[in-house]
């Protein structure tokens, strides 16, 4: 691979924790999950364990977070953990963030509150937690549906120093999402999931936001990392823009040192 590629949006799983969201059952194991990414020339990946549940308490969140840290121990040069917070437990979440920050964790999310009921993104508990996220300089990765764009704006305006990465360019709501992104310089976007299959999507994002605010992501294993990677590489970006989008921006936002 000509460029260093860091996939900022994956969802790993282990036999006893997390949900394998692969539509057709493959990869079926944690080892196959990482082997597939490595086979494409991806140098590192980042993301959270997720589940689908009607209710979640803080112990459920901690189980996912601890699984992410354990997976980093097993794949220290490849996997960067993404962790969860819970708006129903703001003080517990804030204490946990401080402890995890000491362990080198810098990425929160992807948060997916349609499948994990941890609170609205702009609920009082979450807003309290963001005070600590901003203070610690951590990065917040949010799955935001079209009706949630107002909540995203509220968070972005309330915490202008907090770097927020919006998951997915979207498709039918692409223009709405882009309009919100353009208003707030602390908002970034990852190109996982829908959107990139539309020719010119990546070029449009970099033209509108600057390449410094766009990150490569795949949403693996629900989406194809190879399709996203090579779809992006086929668009007409400069060498510098590719370097930023494919890995440089992730390193800058998280403080991940250059290998």
CA distance 5 to 39: 12
Q: Pick from 62, 154, 124: which is nearest to 99 by CA?
A: 62
Percent of the chain with pLDDT over 90: 95
pLDDT tens-digit readout, 34-72: 999 999 999 999 999 999 999 999 999 999 999 999 999
3-state secondary structure of 9: strand
Tokens of 46: 């980042």
> Parallel, antiparallel, or unpaired for β 44-48 and 163-167?
unpaired
pLDDT at 116: 97
pLDDT band at 192 (very low <50, low <70, confident <90, very high): very high
Tokens of 49: 């364990």
Average pLDDT, integer, range 10-21: 96
Residue 118 Cα distances to 59, 123, 124, 197, 223, angstroms: 12, 10, 12, 31, 24
Task: List the Cα angle 192/225/216 in 5-degree steps.
Answer: 45
pLDDT band at 259 (very low <50, low <70, confident <90, very high): low
Tokens of 127: 């807003």
- Statement: residue 257 has pLDDT above 80: no
Burial label for 194, CB within 10 Å (0-12, 13-18, 19+), is middle
Torsion of the alpha carbons at 111, 79, 190 and 84, rounded to the nearest 10: 10
**Residues 105 and 136 sit within 8 Å (Cβ to Cβ):** no
pLDDT tens-digit readout, 136-149: 999 999 999 999 99
pLDDT at 195: 82
Q: What DSSP designation does 248 have?
A: I
Q: Domain 6-254, what architecture?
A: Alpha-Beta Barrel (3.20)
92: preceding bond cis by omega (within 30 degrees): no
Residue 117 Cα distances to 58, 205, 243, 255, angstroms: 11, 30, 36, 30
pLDDT tens-digit readout, 94-129: 999 999 999 999 999 999 999 999 999 999 999 999
- Statement: residue 158 has pLDDT above 80: yes
Name the residue ranges covered by the structural domains of the chain.
6-254
């Amino acid at each position: 691979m000509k460029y260093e590629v860091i996939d900022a949006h994956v969802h790993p799983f282990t036999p006893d924790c997390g949900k394998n969201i692969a539509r057709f059952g493959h990869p079926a194991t944690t080892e196959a999950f990482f082997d597939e990414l490595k086979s494409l020339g991806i140098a590192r990946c980042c993301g959270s364990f997720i589940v689908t549940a009607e209710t979640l308490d803080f112990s459920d969140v901690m189980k996912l977070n601890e699984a992410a840290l354990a997976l980093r121990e097993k794949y220290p040069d490849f996997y960067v953990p993404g962790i969860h917070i819970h708006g129903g437990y703001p003080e517990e979440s804030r204490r946990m963030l401080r402890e995890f920050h000491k362990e080198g964790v810098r990425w929160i999310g992807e948060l997916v509150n349609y499948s994990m009921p941890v609170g609205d993104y702009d609920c009082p508990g979450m807003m309290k937690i963001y005070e600590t996220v901003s203070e610690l300089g951590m990065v917040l990765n949010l799955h935001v549906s079209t009706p949630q764009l107002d909540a995203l704006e509220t968070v972005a305006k309330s915490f202008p120093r907090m770097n927020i990465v919006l998951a997915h360019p979207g498709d039918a709501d692409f223009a709405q999402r882009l309009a919100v992104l353009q208003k707030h310089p602390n908002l970034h976007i990852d190109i996982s999931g829908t959107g990139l299959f539309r020719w010119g999507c990546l070029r449009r994002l970099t033209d509108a936001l600057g390449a410094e605010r766009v990150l490569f992501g795949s949403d693996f294993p629900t989406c194809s990392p190879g399709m996203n990677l090579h779809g992006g590489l086929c668009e007409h970006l400069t060498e510098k823009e590719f370097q930023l989008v494919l890995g440089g921006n992730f390193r800058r936002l998280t403080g991940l040192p250059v290998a």
